A and B are shown apart, each in its own frame.
Chain A
Amino acid sequence: MGMISLVTFLPVFGALIVLLIPKQNEKAIKWFSAIITFIPLIIASYMWSQFNYTLSGINHEAQFQFVEHMSWIPAFHIEYFVGLDGLSFPMFWLTTLLSFLAIVASFGINKSVKGYFALFLLLETGMLGVFVALDFFLFYVFWEVMLLPMYFLIGIWGGPRREYAAIKFFLYTLLGSVLMLVVMLALYFNVQDPATHGHTFNMLHMMDQSNHKDILRSVDVRYWLYILLFIGFAIKVPVFPFHTWLPDAHVEAPTAISVILAGILLKMGTYGLLRISYPIFPDIAVKTAYALAILGVINILYGAFVAMAQKDLKKLVAYSSVSHMGFVLLGMAAFTDAGIHGALFQMFSHGMITAMLFLIVGVIYDRAHHRQIEGFGGLAVSMPVYAGVASLAFFAALGLPGMTGFIAEASVFIGSFPVYRTLTIMAALGIVITASYVLWTVQRVFLGKLNPKYADLPDINRRELFTLVPLGIMVILFGVYPMPILHLMRSSLIHLISLMH
């Protein structure tokens, strides 16, 4: 078994062990889950140290790293084919990190502990699988495997409207994925495996346009398939008209699950576009790029405006995610080196920043039992350490230079400005709105007169700091010196862009 399989399946193996631990022994369950998610982080970090920066990946198997390729269901040409490249590795590593931190952040869970941690571990396997799969069928299975644990995690451990939020999330994402299923099958039957001349689920074969049969050369068919696939991914991102599940799911989900939702799940949508839609239908991707850029700008502006109007702190963070994912779309749509680097870097950076924000909201909610922005004030007096960490995260969110958000957004603008001048200027307006709602929030929550009700709230504790500090350090570290991450991505992204032209 290779390292990828080890990392991917270790959590689900841990889930089985968790089910065997007696349910009274909650401490053992929690610590075991923490260890079983820490090991993948260690292995993934080791893989980083072994990562070959010159290999590009994307559409050649030889260019992928840590590849495992074997037959699964030969009669239907389904393979177990996994591998990593510069596009997937940052997300793969981030997933192991955030899963570990989210497990630690979940130590406060006290309802059906066993079920929670078992489902969480199953979820981690699904997420990792999505980022490593190179066989479309395998990708689809992992993509769907995430849904079930997510439904229960929101539905059982969530807030007051959890049932509604959980089923809404489930229905929306299933709607997207069944459309993907149709596209997957259409590709399967109309792409020829160059070696065997049979059908294939191998994504890399699908990317080679010379393997496409005649029906796939028709522009109309390609448009339809691209659009169906796009809807599938857009729901996950979420792109503007499909975003309504997001505020519900994020607000109702328990803290750690919001972290995973915003930190990892949203990125799967844009990852899917880059991994599957772009290389398989490069011509259509280029033709529809302008529409994608417009959607990106709508996301940026709409998300930011709606965030400004929120009274609930968690909802505000949720809508800020919609806004920040817009930058990813805009960067992707430009098809320039800087733009696509910015997009992927934004995915990575937003994964950390939004995780911090949700953790911060969780901290205050655990203490005050509400999240109304208006209800607070002057918390910097009673909780100084907390206020410090929180301000760091909020400033990172508004894209302050010296932190990762700035690098990502600047890179997106540099990449998209030459292509979409007006749209980029409008998007830049989004930065101003972001700054205003972030600063306004910081002011209302942490500054001003201290609300006497919250005068003796305990400051942030060590466990909470343990989850926030590593992210905070990385946000600053990679904000000042982003090269380690950019190096990871470079050869893959440059190759991807060259495929598109």
Chain B
Amino acid sequence: MDNLSSLSYFVPELFLSAAILLIIILDLLLKKEQKIWTGILSAAALLISVFLIFKQYQLPVHDIFNGMLVVDSMAVLVKLIAAVSSIIIILFSLPYVEEKTEYYVLILITTLGMFLMASVNDILMIILSMELVGLMSYVLTGFTKRNVKSDEASLKYILYAAASTAVMAFGFSYIYGMTGETNLIKIQQALMTNPPNQAAFFIAVVLVLAGLGYKIAMVPFHFWLPDVYEGAPTPITAFLSVGPKAAGLAVMIRFLITVTAHPTSGMATAFAQNLQVHLPMLIAVLAVITMTFGNTVALRQTNIKRLMAYSSIAHAGYMIMAMVVFNAEGFTAILFYLIIYMFMNFGAFWVIITMTKRLNSDEISAFRGLGYRSPYAAVALAIFLFSLTGLPPLAGFIGKFYLFAAVIKAEWYVLAILGVLNSVVSLYYYANIVRTMFLESAPVQEAVPFNLYDKVLLTVLLVPVLLFGVYWSPVLRLTEISFNVFH
């Protein structure tokens, strides 16, 4: 589709771009005390874009801008997740970031980048959109300027990202060299008609996986993550753990089902290139390493933000695990998990944000006796953590259930067993936080303030975690209609 007629398929992105410009101009007009309104407006803009994205479900699956991007239901769902998670992050930040318009603008631009990542169909767009998200993330990570940890995190982030992107771009150059195409679909066709050199193709795939793996924090490309999570302002930590990760997974799924495989009848996929290295096995090994590493290292953490960092590595591992099956069940299970993960992870982070600020410490030991000092927040955090562990009847269990179901259906029994054993390991460190809050007595008895705004926001995140644990048919339907991928 040509550029002009593509515009009608690009409404949410156009709207968001206009909103970004408008808010920047508005910033010049507002007095310092009034700048909080730019944050509220940003959230409102995102909310409108959520509605605009929803309407895109009715559009036919199509590529736009001469094949640079696509509009299909997976793109729509990932955009929804990105937009909703950004709204939640803005709501998280409103009480703490009152005068900095640029903060909210940066979040909006990141969201725009995630929209693009969700709908990429060209290797150039992959690099471009990932860089857009990346650049904004470095700035947001270093947003608390005079904080040494924050600065260090930001710098580390840039260095790792630059190296990874370079590696990925190098991999793409191989692919371009083998096929002469940048469009993913055309690459797929070219590879099928002209089988490439095995070794060269394998190297290219591994190099690209390195770049994508950095984005979703797949071991061994995860080294940046704990420091960035610890150093970044906590709302940004929460942000990085969901939105960009979802977008990164979407890019990875797109890459895997176009360049390395092609859909046959239905959505079952066959491999275009019979690599000597069995690609699903490679991914399975990476998934197991990722989750095992995340879970075992998390066991030793005393800082709650670092703990959540390793926990997010482990969760990335669970999601990568479902990729090995290369079929619609696996990929929809990942999308389903992302929705659930967004609620439970944000819920946990919201309690962590409010409590670490008020207790003035990121250490888990500061949470001692919190169950008696701020019962609602502590009970909610316990629920979120047990949901992250995957205990029924909470939503996290249902999410993991579908991941494991996809894996077991494809008869990867050993992988499934390693996955569930990882869940058991994760219980230990999640329960450790719960233990600190409830089983230990508080050093001081006074209540930790938890105001109405905090409570309302917490409840909004808590209800889905409880509700989807016992009735999740609507979410399931949403993800099932969302794997109608352009091919």
- B residues less than 8 Å from A175 (CB atoms): 421, 424
State whether the Cβ of B487 lies closer than 8 Å to any Cβ in chain A: no
Considering only CB atoms, which chain B residue lies closest to A224 in the complex?
Answer: B413
- Segment 415-449 of B: residues with Cβ below 8 Å from A: 416-417, 420-421, 423-424, 427-428, 431-432, 435, 438-439
**Number of A-B residue pairs with CB-CB distance less than 8 Å in the complex they form:** 81
- Let me know if A185 and B435 touch, CB within 8 A: no
A20 CB–B CB distance under 8 Å: no
Distance in angstroms between the alpha carbons of A144 and B386 in the assembled complex = 11
Q: How far is the CA of A224 from the CA of B417 in the complex (A)?
A: 12
* Cα–Cα, bound, A488→B115 (Å): 63
B392 close to A (CB within 8 Å)? yes
B411, B417, B420, B476 — most chain A CB neighbours (10 Å): B420
Chain B contacts for A141, CB-based, 8 A: 392-393
CA distance A186 to B408 in the complex (A): 6
Contact with B along A127-164 (1 / 0, CB 8 A): 00000000000001100110110011001100000110
CA distance A75 to B423 in the complex (A): 25
Looking at A165-173, A266-274, A393-401, A428-436, the stretch in contact with chain B turns out to be A165-173
Interface of B is mostly: helix
Partner of A144 from B391, B404, B405, B408 at Cβ < 8 Å: B391
Q: A73-B473, A75-B477, A189-B409 are in contact. Are A182 and B404 (CB under 8 A)?
A: yes
Interface string of B448-485 (1 = CB under 8 A from A): 00000000000000000000000111001100100000
Closest to B436 in A: A163
Which residues on B sit within 8 Å (CB–CB) of A145? 392-393
Q: Give the CA-CA distance A174 to B420 in the complex, in Å.
A: 10
Least CB distance from A180 to B in Å reads: 9
Q: Is B397 interfacial (CB-CB < 8 Å)?
A: yes
Contact B431 A170 (CB under 8 A): yes
Contact A75 B476 (CB under 8 A): yes
- A185, A215, A224: the one within 8 Å of B416 (CB): A185
Interface size on A, residues (CB 8 A): 34
CB 8 Å contact bits of B372-411 with A (1 = contact, 0 = none): 0000000000000010000111000100010011001101
Docked-complex contact B408 and A189, CB < 8 angstroms: yes
Task: Point out the residues of chain A lying under 8 angstroms from B477, CB to CB.
Answer: 75
How distant is the Cα of A167 from the Cα of B413 in the complex, in angstroms? Answer: 28
A306 within 8 A of B: no
Does the CB pair B420–A162 fall under 8 Å? no
Q: Evaluate contact between A152 and B438: CB separation under 8 angstroms.
A: yes
* Residues of chain B in range 48-95 having any CB-CB distance to chain A below 8 Å: none
Q: Does the CB pair A155–B438 fall under 8 Å?
A: yes
The reply on A178 being an interface residue by CB < 8 A is: yes
Report yes or no: B428 in contact with A167, Cβ–Cβ below 8 A: yes
Q: How far is the CA of A148 from the CA of B387 in the complex (A)?
A: 11
Q: Do B392 and A167 touch (CB < 8 A)?
A: no
A141-B393, A147-B391, A182-B416 known; A163 and B427 CB under 8 Å?
no
> Could you say which of B392, B417, B439 contacts A163, with CB atoms under 8 Å apart?
B439
Besides A144-B393, A178-B420, A185-B416, 19 new A-B residue pairs in contact (Cβ under 8 A), listed by A number: A75-B477, A76-B405, A140-B392, A141-B393, A144-B392, A148-B386, A162-B439, A167-B428, A167-B431, A167-B432, A171-B427, A178-B424, A179-B417, A179-B420, A181-B420, A182-B404, A185-B404, A185-B408, A186-B413
Could you jot down 5 A-B contacts, CB within 8 Å?
A166-B439, A178-B423, A181-B401, A182-B417, A185-B408
**A residues bordering B, Cβ < 8 Å?**
72-76, 140-141, 144-145, 147-148, 151-152, 155-156, 162-163, 166-167, 170-171, 174-175, 178-179, 181-182, 185-186, 188-189, 215, 224, 228
